[in-house]
């Protein structure tokens, strides 16, 4: 099957949704957007749309789960994929349905919250920059969201691991594994602004290279970061259960919704490989940086 034939099938599916299923324009757009996530995945795997297997779909769903996509969003995407392959079966493009055994995540437990871009902007705007810790908090939350860090990675981030010229930070994750993560110019500028205050502080021995410091010149605790976020969320009038991990989930969700590559998101989050040992082989630093610049709201909003 050629690339053009694949496009023709997708076009026919669009017509099928409009004429035979009589869906609204908004519903059709939602189906096509979710299908595009699968098409990007199978293209990266060099798989033809009509030759996708149940195993391929399992790998795709595992990647959705791994980057922290909300279970309800996972269920919606899977539902759309099932609809697409039912169409392929009806129109004799395939003889067996690879989605037949594909299960959606169980929904019913309280689910993690995701912040919208506007809500994140509102949280940032509530930070009082006239306070001694104001610029530190702003830089800290910007890095948390722009880089999708774990709270443990944020509080141990070193000044020497911020590469301003290259627009990367070096992060030490679980098991002391290091990774390079692209950082937006917005976040870098907030760090630069914070350094004016940091450079006037009395830093305690052992914390000279720690980027985000308490007013006592020592590193911040996880609890302190939770408290700062809770305070700013309340000031922004947001009625959601928000934690540092919420920023990480929002980072991954916004990137995926913007069309970023699933593998690139996995690598930026510092997750383990899921299925094959070669899963990250073709991801290089420049590609990761381009994925952030192209798909992260913080980067696109500054264009």
Annotated active-site positions, please? 150, 174, 245, 248, 271, 280
Please name the residues in contact with 169: beta carbons below 8 A apart, sequence gap of 6 or more.
143, 147, 157, 161, 162, 163, 180, 181, 183
Question: Can you name the residues that pair with 179 across neighbouring β-strands?
Answer: 171
Cα 159 to Cα 92, 186, 193, 194, 198: the distances in Å are 59, 17, 14, 12, 11
d(CA 23, CA 16): 9
At 162, list the tokens: 């911020």
Question: Kindly report the CA angle at 100 between 97 and 103, in degrees rounded to 5?
Answer: 145
Residue 161 sits at φ, ψ, to 5 deg, of -95, 10
Q: What is the rounded CA–CA span in Å between residue 124 and residue 126?
A: 6
Q: Using CA atoms, how far apart are residues 149 and 141, in angstroms rounded to an integer?
A: 10
Assess contact for 263 and 272: CB atoms under 8 A. no
Are the C-beta atoms of 275 and 281 separated by less than 8 Å? no
């Amino acid at each position: 099957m050629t690339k053009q034939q694949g496009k023709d099938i997708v076009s026919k599916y669009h017509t099928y949704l409009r004429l035979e299923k009589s869906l609204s324009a908004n519903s059709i757009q939602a189906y096509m957007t979710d299908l595009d996530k699968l098409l990007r995945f199978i293209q990266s795997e060099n798989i033809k749309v009509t030759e996708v297997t149940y195993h391929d779909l399992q790998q795709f769903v595992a990647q959705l789960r791994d980057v922290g996509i909300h279970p309800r969003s996972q269920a919606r995407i899977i539902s759309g994929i099932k609809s697409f392959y039912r169409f392929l079966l009806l129109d004799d493009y395939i003889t067996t349905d690879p989605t037949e055994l594909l299960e959606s995540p169980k929904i019913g437990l309280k689910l993690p919250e995701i912040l919208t871009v506007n809500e994140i902007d509102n949280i940032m705007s509530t930070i009082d920059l006239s306070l001694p810790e104001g610029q530190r908090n702003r830089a800290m939350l910007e890095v948390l969201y722009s880089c999708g860090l774990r709270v443990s990675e944020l509080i141990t981030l070193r000044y020497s691991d911020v590469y301003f010229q290259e627009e990367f930070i070096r992060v030490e994750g679980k098991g002391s594994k290091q990774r390079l993560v692209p950082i937006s110019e917005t976040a870098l500028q907030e760090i630069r602004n914070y350094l004016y205050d940091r450079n006037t502080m009395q830093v305690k021995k052992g914390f000279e290279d720690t980027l985000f410091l308490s007013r006592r010149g020592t590193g911040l605790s996880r609890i302190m970061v939770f408290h700062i976020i809770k305070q700013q969320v309340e000031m922004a009038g947001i009625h959601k259960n928000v934690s540092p991990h919420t920023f990480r989930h929002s980072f991954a969700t916004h990137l995926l919704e913007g069309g970023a590559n699933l593998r690139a998101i996995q690598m930026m989050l510092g997750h383990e490989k899921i299925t094959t040992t070669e899963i990250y082989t073709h991801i290089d630093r420049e590609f990761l940086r381009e994925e952030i610049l192209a798909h992260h709201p913080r980067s696109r909003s500054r264009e």
